[in-house]
Amino acid sequence: MKPKLKIFLAGAIAIAAPQFAHAAEKVSFNRDIRPILSDICFTCHGPDVSKIKGGLRLDNKESAMKGGESGPAIVPGKPDASEVYKRLITHDADDLMPPKKSGKTLKPEQVETFRRWIAEGAEYQGHWSFIKPERPAVPGKSAQFSVLSSQSKQGVQSEILSTEHCTDVSAKSPRTVCFAS
């Protein structure tokens, strides 16, 4: 394979891989849904009770499940029975959300994110600032960082950096030096 083609393919994979990994991940209300609601929907269906349209609030679970004048807005596990999803995909200009006059639109990926979120159970989360952070587990000694590539097939030796080959520079310095094995 030609070197330029390898570089191009490696770049394409590096750009596309995070998108595919995110697609397989469960939809998070705070990460994926709340920003869309905040930007597009909360003007008419948010916490400001004086601006509520159609009797529908989407900023909290109880109100969204109860729905507004058109019935339940969200039916967990059933996107096709959820009024919110129906309003996002309808071709009827009178029912389409957000309304054309708002000047706001959702991208197809955002509509699909809503569908997935509802299909996965439409789990609401509290605002991120009220959720206690959890420290991820620290990997054990067997965790290694490996540099593997197709170059190893061409004779370039792959290197594995392991925590077993780390040593303190001095007692006065917090620095640590790791050696490749």
Task: Report yes or no on 97 lying in a domain.
Answer: yes
Specify the 3-state DSSP secondary structure of 157: coil
Same domain, 102 and 56: yes
For residue 163, pLDDT over 50 is answered with: no
Task: Report yes or no on 4 lying in a domain.
Answer: no
Task: Report yes or no on 10 lying in a domain.
Answer: no
Cβ(84)–Cβ(106) below 8 Å: no
Q: Which domain holds residue 157?
A: 143-178
Task: Report yes or no on 89 lying in a domain.
Answer: yes
Task: Report yes or no on 136 lying in a domain.
Answer: no
Distance CA 37, CA 45 (A): 9
Same domain, 32 and 107: yes
Distance CA 70, CA 54 (A): 8
Same domain, 64 and 95: yes
Distance CA 87, CA 54 (A): 13
Task: Report yes or no on 53 lying in a domain.
Answer: yes
pLDDT digits (tens, 9 = 90+) for 87-131: 999 999 999 999 999 999 999 999 999 999 999 999 999 888 888
**Count of domains forming the chain:** 2
Task: Report pTM.
Answer: 0.62
